[in-house]
């Protein structure tokens, strides 16, 4: 992928289903989880990291060491992850990167090696996503992060390509990706991570 990559870290949710407050502030190795994710994205080769914040943003900014990550405040975070995706990607495109990598804050197993593999595999005019195999399965499922050529990231925000604003919900870029499977390169990262999110109490073991 030519040019630099700007990472968009989606970290605006309130963690309502888990019930422990914003996932960005979950403790991981003695520090807020968001710190780990910012470091992984930078160590993996992203030139700039934008952290999209919403719920608890004051506490996050006060407690977490975001290094040189730039906060992007999403005032509409309560309407779902789709609003954070649009806010973050729009802010990333304003920096004129060659590519935009979208990551989730609630994947503590994400490693710099996964990020580096996606950046190495990315090609102009393509979308490159991390793929993971579940234990005992040969099927590769699409996960995060997802790397967009900058032109495709911009296209994903256009009317008719993105989900309607009134139905943003938790879709993020799912609508756009589902509509354009021909643009997708799925890269097996199963040897580096499992791609699991912290969504329920049973997933808290991922933070150990």
Write down the pLDDT at residue 155: 95
Q: How far apart are CA 198 and CA 205, in angstroms?
A: 9
pLDDT averaged per 10 residues, the chain (length 208)? 86 84 91 96 96 94 93 93 95 97 96 97 96 87 96 92 49 84 96 91 85
Write down the pLDDT at residue 165: 43
Write down the pLDDT at residue 109: 94
Write down the pLDDT at residue 101: 98
Q: How far apart are CA 70 and CA 37, in angstroms?
A: 13
Write down the pLDDT at residue 1: 57
At the top level of CATH, which class does the domain 5-207 belong to?
alpha beta
Write down the pLDDT at residue 208: 83
The domain ranges of the chain are 5-207
Q: How far apart are CA 126 and CA 148, in angstroms?
A: 7
Write down the pLDDT at residue 162: 63
| CA dihedral of 60, 66, 70, 75, whole degrees rounded to 10 | -10
């Amino acid at each position: 992928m030519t040019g630099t990559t700007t990472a968009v870290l989606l970290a605006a949710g309130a963690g309502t289903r888990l019930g422990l407050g914003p996932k960005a502030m979950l403790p991981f190795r003695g520090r807020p989880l968001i710190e780990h994710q910012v470091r992984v994205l930078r160590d993996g080769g992203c030139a700039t990291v934008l952290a999209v914040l919403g719920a608890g943003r004051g506490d996050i900014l006060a407690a977490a060491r975001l290094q040189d990550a730039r906060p992007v405040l999403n005032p509409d975070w309560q309407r779902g992850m789709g609003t954070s995706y649009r806010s973050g990607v729009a802010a990333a495109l304003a920096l004129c990167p060659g590519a935009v990598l979208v990551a989730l804050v609630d994947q503590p197993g994400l490693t710099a090696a996964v990020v580096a593999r996606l950046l190495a595999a990315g090609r102009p005019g393509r979308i490159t996503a991390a793929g993971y195999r579940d234990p005992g399965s040969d099927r590769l499922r699409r996960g995060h992060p997802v790397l967009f050529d900058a032109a495709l990231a911009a296209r994903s925000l256009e009317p008719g390509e993105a989900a309607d604003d009134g139905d943003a919900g938790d879709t993020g870029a799912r609508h756009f990706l589902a509509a354009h499977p021909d643009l997708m390169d799925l890269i097996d990262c199963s040897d580096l991570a499992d791609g699991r999110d912290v969504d329920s109490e049973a997933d808290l073991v991922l933070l150990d």
